[in-house]
Chains A and B, each alone.
Chain A
C-alpha cells in the first residue's frame, strides 16, 4: 500500500524499522507512525469496540478521536496515529477499554 511514484512528493528510501503486531514480525520505515506502518501492510483493524466488539480502524489521524487506540509495549490506549514507530515495539490489537 506504499506510494511508489508521485508527481509532487518524493518518498526517498528510509531505514527499515522492525516491530511486531500480535506477535507477528513486521517492518515499517523511519518516519512512520505505528498506524501508518500497519496500514502500509494492509492492517486496518486496530481494535475492537468496548461493548459490541465491533472492528475499529483509525479515523482522524491527528490524535483526537481515539479510534486507533492500541496496546503498545503493554500500555493500552496508545494513540497509534501520532505515535512514531520505534524499533522493536510490541503492538497489539486492543480489546475494548484495555487494562493497565
Chain B
C-alpha cells in the first residue's frame, strides 16, 4: 500500500489553502479530487468576492483560484490525483480510492477532509424532471463549459447564490423572468438583489414552486403563494413558462467519509446538517484526522480558505515542523474568521458553532 505524509481530500478553497503552509513547512502532500481540475467551486465563480482583502476580496473566484494554484502546483513535495474519488476512510487512516477502472488504497499519517458540500433539493411534484437543476450545477455548466442550461430560468431561493447565479445567467444571455423566495424577506445581500431587480427579475417573497410541468424535460412551472407556515395556499397558483427550474435552497456538508470512519458527528441545522465535532485546531475526534471548509459547516469561500490555512498550520505543527511565529499567525487567522462572522449575516454560523462547541 502506498504511504503518504498528508492526504488532503478535496481541492477547493479549503484544501488549497491548507496545502500551502504544509508545503512551505516541508511536508509531503497528496491532494485528491474527483474532478479533472483543481479548485472545487472556485472554478466557476466569476463574481468578485466580498469579505476581507486578506482573502482576496474584490477579486473574482476564478482569478483567486489561479493565484492559489500557482502558489503550490510546481512544488516538489506536492502530488495531485485528479479524477479520483475517495470512496472509503478508515480509522487507521487508510483511504480507498477509485480512478477510472483502478481501485487502490493509501495510508496517510495525517488526513485532512476538505470534501465541501452538496446542494440540497426541494420537495415538489416532478422535481426529478430534467431541467430542474441545482444552482451550482447551472453555474458549472455556464462558467466552466460555456453551455447554457436553458433559455428561460425560474430561480428558487434568494440567498447570495440564487441572486448571483441569476445575474450570471443573464450575463450568459439567458432570460431570468422570476425569482421566488419562500421566506418573507430576501436572504442574500440587498446589493445583489437590487442589481438583478434593476435588470427586470421579478423577485417574489412568500412564494414557491408547486410543481414542474413537462414530459421529458421542464416546459413550465406552477407556482403558488405560501402562508406563514410555508404551506401553499390553494387558489393562488400561476403558470410560469420556463425550460429550467434552478434550485438554490442551501447546501449540506459532505460528511459521509468522516461518518464512515466513525468520527463524532452532530446534526446542527444552522451549519447545514450533519457536521463533525471539531476543536479550534480543526481536529476531528479521530486521531490525526482534520477537517476544514464547508464540510465542517456551511459558510462561504473566504472562511473556507481561512479554516484551511489554520488546519494546514496545525497539521504541520503536530507533525513536528517548526514554523516561525505560528501562534501569532494562527491567532490572527482566528481573528479574521471572527470578523467574517460578525454582523447579522453571520448569526446563524455563530449559533451553529456554539452548538458544535467551537467558539
Selected from B35, B128, B133, B217, the residue in CB contact (under 8 A) with A63 is B35
Q: Is B149 an interface residue (CB 8 A)?
A: yes
Selected from B83, B131, B148, the residue in CB contact (under 8 A) with A1 is B148
Q: A39-B141, A45-B130, A84-B36 are in contact. Are A61 and B136 (CB under 8 A)?
A: yes
- Would A6 and B172 count as touching, CB distance under 8 A? yes
Interface positions, chain B 148-172, Cβ under 8 Å from A, are: 148-150, 171-172
- Would B147 and A39 count as touching, CB distance under 8 A? yes
Indicate the size class of the contact surface on chain B.
35 or more
- Would A62 and B46 count as touching, CB distance under 8 A? no
Selected from B142, B144, B171, B216, the residue in CB contact (under 8 A) with A7 is B171
Q: A58-B137, A64-B118 are in contact. Are A3 and B148 (CB under 8 A)?
A: yes
- Would A3 and B142 count as touching, CB distance under 8 A? yes
A29 CB to closest chain B CB (Å) equals: 8
B295 CB to closest chain A CB (Å) equals: 12
Q: How far is the CA of A49 from the CA of B36 in the complex (A)?
A: 27
- Would B217 and A55 count as touching, CB distance under 8 A? yes
- Would B130 and A55 count as touching, CB distance under 8 A? yes
- Would A62 and B149 count as touching, CB distance under 8 A? no
Q: Is B129 an interface residue (CB 8 A)?
A: yes
Q: Is A71 an interface residue (CB 8 A)?
A: no
Q: How far is the CA of A10 from the CA of B140 in the complex (A)?
A: 15
- Would A62 and B148 count as touching, CB distance under 8 A? no
When each residue 54-92 of chain A gets 1 if its CB lies under 8 Å from chain B and 0 otherwise, what string results?
111111111111010000000000000110100000000
- Would B118 and A65 count as touching, CB distance under 8 A? yes
Which of A5, A61, A63 has the most chain B CB within a 10 Å cutoff? Answer: A61
Closest to B218 in A: A44
Closest to B118 in A: A64
A83 CB to closest chain B CB (Å) equals: 8
Q: Is B173 an interface residue (CB 8 A)?
A: yes
Closest to B133 in A: A59
- Would B146 and A3 count as touching, CB distance under 8 A? yes
Q: Is B254 an interface residue (CB 8 A)?
A: yes
When each residue 80-112 of chain B gets 1 if its CB lies under 8 Å from chain A and 0 otherwise, what string results?
000101000000000000000000000000000
- Would B134 and A59 count as touching, CB distance under 8 A? yes
Q: Is B143 an interface residue (CB 8 A)?
A: yes
Q: Is A36 an interface residue (CB 8 A)?
A: yes
- Residues of chain A touching chain B, judged by Cβ–Cβ distance below 8 Å, are 1-9, 11, 31-33, 36, 39-40, 44-46, 49, 54-65, 67, 81-82, 84
- Residues of chain B touching chain A, judged by Cβ–Cβ distance below 8 Å, are 34-36, 46, 60, 83, 85, 116, 118-119, 121, 128-134, 136-137, 140-150, 171-173, 216-217, 254
A-B contacts, 17 of them at CB < 8 A, read A1-B150, A2-B147, A3-B142, A7-B171, A31-B145, A45-B216, A57-B131, A58-B137, A59-B132, A59-B137, A60-B134, A61-B137, A61-B140, A62-B116, A62-B118, A64-B254, A67-B128
Given pairs A61-B140, A67-B128, 10 additional interface contacts (CB within 8 A): A8-B60, A36-B141, A45-B217, A54-B128, A55-B129, A59-B119, A59-B121, A59-B132, A62-B35, A64-B118
10 tightest A-B CB contacts, nearest first: A57-B130, A61-B137, A36-B145, A44-B130, A11-B146, A61-B140, A40-B147, A64-B118, A44-B217, A1-B148
